[in-house]
């Protein structure tokens, strides 16, 4: 009997020494949290975090999860992967990850709490997050740059046209000067007519260049109404059209598609666009006096690509059949 007890005591001692030499913290408890075996390290960490050693495993776990920690320590939630993991930073700067596992042993449930030091990993993660934030900033700058570059290209094209007009103008001045200096009148009337026509062209171009410079954000309504008129369909607008350019262009993309379908399939000669707005969005209702679709609208290539374009911008497209067929559009306002 004594030998058996001695043997058991020796085995327990070996186990204790073994877990005390384990560099991390480890603790086994019964299902009610009563400690069965805990090493020195987990007691030290638990004390550093909560102000007491492991008196009850479930109690310690609850305190860690609810962040009932000593003020000089901190919870690192960014590293917590799931409900079985808690990460905390001690006052000495080391970061510890706690994990809770359950397993059966001798017909009863045993809970294992494990604390591993992840200071290095945590610092890598922090550095990575910092680099990601920098990358996101650069990425945003790149997008912004793209927007400006497209506009710069347009400006450049206009500048090239102006340079061409300037060159033509200079050349015509020279030819005119030569002609005026030609007192012997060797130039014939046809050359004079050609010169005059060239002057008219260059003057037209100069007028257009001035207009092109000032009209970079023309109202898309003008041209749409013009081409609709060519089909014999009148477009009537009511309400105030969106102030934001993005919303305005989306609206006209939808009006254009509705117009095409109303004329082609419904034989309409009048299309009405009612525009209204809420604090968050623009609402557009498009109706026509043509034949309404016999059944639910089947979206082909045109409506399909319009829907994709609208949805990419967070806008919504819908149809209503009650009280006449209408295309409904909702476009969110920008932040």
Partner 1 sequence: MVNVLIVEDSRISRESFERQLEASSGYHVKASIENAANAEIVCMSSRIDLILMDVCTADDESGLTAAARIKRNYPQIRIIIMTSMPEHSFIRKAKESGCDSFWYKEQGDITLAEICDRTMRGEFVWPDSSPEIMIGMAKSSDFTERELDVIRALASGNRYEEMAEVLFMSTNTVKYHVKNILRKTGFRSTIQLVAEVVEKRLILPKY
Chain residues that interact with partner 1, rule: CB under 8 A? 135, 138-139, 141-143, 145-146, 149-150, 152-153, 157-158, 161, 165, 201, 204-205, 208-209, 211-212, 218, 220, 223-224, 226-228, 230-232, 249, 252-253, 256, 259-260, 263-264, 301-302
Contact 87, 75 (CB under 8 A): yes
Q: How far apart are CA 198 and CA 166, in angstroms?
A: 13
Structure tokens at 242: 């969106």
Q: How far apart are CA 227 and CA 1, in angstroms?
A: 107
Q: Which is nearer to partner 1, 26 or 161 (CB)?
A: 161
Contact 57, 111 (CB under 8 A): yes
Q: Which is nearer to partner 1, 105 or 160 (CB)?
A: 160
User: Does the CA dihedral 220-222-225-227 come out positive or negative?
Assistant: negative
Closest among 295, 275, 293, 294 to 283, alpha carbons compared = 275
Contact 290, 268 (CB under 8 A): yes
Q: How far apart are CA 145 and CA 140, in angstroms?
A: 9
Q: Which is nearer to partner 1, 210 or 318 (CB)?
A: 210
Contact 89, 76 (CB under 8 A): yes
Minimum distance of partner 1 from residue 255's CB (angstroms): 10
Minimum distance of partner 1 from residue 162's CB (angstroms): 9
Minimum distance of partner 1 from residue 249's CB (angstroms): 5
> How many helices (H) and strands (E) are present in the chain, helices listed first?
8, 11
Minimum distance of partner 1 from residue 208's CB (angstroms): 5
Q: Which is nearer to partner 1, 43 or 198 (CB)?
A: 198
Minimum distance of partner 1 from residue 151's CB (angstroms): 11
Q: Which is nearer to partner 1, 99 or 256 (CB)?
A: 256
Minimum distance of partner 1 from residue 237's CB (angstroms): 16
Q: Which is nearer to partner 1, 187 or 260 (CB)?
A: 260
Q: Which is nearer to partner 1, 145 or 196 (CB)?
A: 145
Minimum distance of partner 1 from residue 209's CB (angstroms): 6
Structure tokens at 4: 């058996």
DSSP letter for 24, please. S
Distance from the first to the final alpha carbon of the chain: 81
Q: Which residues pair with 287 in a beta bridge?
A: 272
Minimum distance of partner 1 from residue 41's CB (angstroms): 39
Q: Which is nearer to partner 1, 30 or 206 (CB)?
A: 206
Please give the distance of CA 29 from its chain centroid, rounded to a whole number: 48
Helices (H), 81-219: 119-181, 189-214
Minimum distance of partner 1 from residue 149's CB (angstroms): 4
User: Does the CA dihedral 38-43-49-51 come out positive or negative?
Assistant: positive
Q: Which is nearer to partner 1, 197 or 318 (CB)?
A: 197
């Amino acid at each position: 009997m004594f030998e058996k007890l001695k043997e058991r005591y020796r085995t327990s001692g070996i186990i204790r020494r073994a877990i005390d030499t384990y560099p991390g913290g480890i603790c086994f408890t019964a299902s009610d949290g009563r400690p069965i075996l805990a090493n020195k390290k987990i007691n030290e960490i638990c004390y550093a975090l909560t102000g007491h050693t492991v008196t009850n495993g479930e109690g310690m776990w609850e305190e860690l999860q609810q962040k009932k920690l000593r003020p000089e320590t901190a919870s690192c939630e960014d590293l917590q992967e799931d409900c079985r993991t808690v990460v905390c930073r001690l006052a000495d700067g080391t970061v510890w990850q706690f994990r809770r596992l359950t397993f059966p042993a001798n017909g009863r449930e045993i809970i294992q709490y494990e604390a591993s030091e992840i200071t290095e990993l945590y610092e890598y993660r922090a550095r990575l997050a910092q680099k990601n934030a920098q990358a996101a900033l650069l990425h945003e700058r790149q997008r912004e740059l793209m927007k400006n570059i497209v506009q710069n290209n347009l400006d450049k094209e206009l500048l090239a046209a102006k340079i061409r007009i300037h060159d033509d103008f200079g050349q015509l001045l020279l030819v005119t000067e030569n002609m005026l200096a030609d007192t012997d009148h060797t130039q014939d009337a046809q050359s004079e007519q050609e010169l005059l026509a060239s002057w008219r062209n260059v003057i037209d171009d100069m007028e257009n260049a001035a207009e092109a410079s000032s009209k970079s954000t023309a109202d898309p309504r003008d041209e749409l109404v013009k081409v609709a008129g060519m089909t014999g369909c009148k477009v009537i607008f009511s309400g105030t059209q969106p102030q934001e350019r993005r919303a305005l262009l989306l609206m006209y993309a939808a009006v254009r598609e509705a117009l095409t379908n109303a004329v082609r399939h419904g034989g309409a000669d009048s299309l009405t666009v009612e525009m209204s707005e809420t604090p968050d969005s623009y609402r557009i209702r498009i109706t026509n006096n043509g034949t309404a679709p016999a059944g639910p609208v089947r979206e082909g290539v045109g409506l399909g690509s319009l829907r994709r374009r609208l949805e990419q911008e967070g806008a919504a497209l819908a149809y209503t059949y009650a009280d006449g067929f209408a295309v409904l559009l909702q476009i969110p306002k920008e932040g």
